[in-house]
Amino acid sequence: MSGGKPARTRPAAPRRRAGASPRAAGAVSPFGHGDIPTSLLLIFPLFLAYEVGVMFSPTVNGVDFVTRWVFAAVGYDRDRYLLVHLVLAVGFLALLIYLRAKRGFTLKVLPPVFIESIIYALTLGTVIVFVMDRVLGLGASELGGRGQAIVMSLGAGVHEEMVFRLGLMGGGIAALTLVRFDRGPAVLVALAVSAALFSAAHHAGPLGEPFETSVFVYRLLAGVAFGLIFYFRSLAHAVYAHFLYDVYVMVLRS
């Protein structure tokens, strides 16, 4: 037996789950519990589908500033506009291949997100209608009408979630915490403000809908629901839930 000191073995570093955020355990970003880069990868195909489909639609989403800017940048030429998005699609495919080779991303995360979002979409309308009818007495059962095409549902899911949840809610939480708000009150304030602005935006401007209290409250509650999904699940969950919800309410039920 040697008289020297026994060699010390370094404990193995804990393995991180595939796709897990590199944030410290228990730390939550102002943008919620989900991983933003992964969410952006998951929703990019929806964005591309909308951007191409909107060229064959008479209207664009109210908060879609990207399409207007790109279309103007290519001189309002449809062929050049579509070519730009073909390049984006090829670049996105190349990025997926690269990330897959590096084992930094796998499409296996998409089916669970999609299935969970279907559940949110199918139950969201029922819950909101129940609250408005039975709790608030605002007659939500009278809401309805034929919605727009699937392209508009894509635009609503992608652009409205990017603006109102990622930008306003996530950005609002970040701004409030910078001025020393506690996390809980910051989340509640940002959630309420973003949901109210989300609902109000549908009535703003010359093309906005006439204001009706029941319609405003309906969208306000929907904004709260999408905000909770965004914060406690991920941006991708919110986008897919919003898109599928609009398809269910505006297309399938009409």
pLDDT, tens only, 132-187: 666 666 655 444 444 345 778 888 889 999 999 999 999 999 999 999 899 999 99
Strand blocks (E) in the chain? none
* b/e burial code for range 37-55 (CB count within 10 A of at least 16 → b): ebbebbbbebbbbbbbebe
How high does pLDDT run on average in the chain? Answer: 79
Taking a C-beta distance cutoff of 8 angstroms, is the pair 217, 132 a contact?
Answer: yes
Write down the pLDDT at residue 172.
95
CA–CA dist 239, 31 (Å, integer): 14
**Which residue type occupies 194?**
S
Taking a C-beta distance cutoff of 8 angstroms, is the pair 50, 154 a contact?
Answer: yes
Question: Within 10 A of 59 (CB to CB), how many other CB atoms are there?
Answer: 13
Q: Which one, of 63, 246, 219, 238, lies nearest residue 152 by Cα?
A: 246
Place of tokens 């602005």: 197
Instruction: Note the pLDDT tens digit of each residue in 187-232.
Output: 999 999 999 999 999 888 766 788 888 889 989 999 999 999 999 9
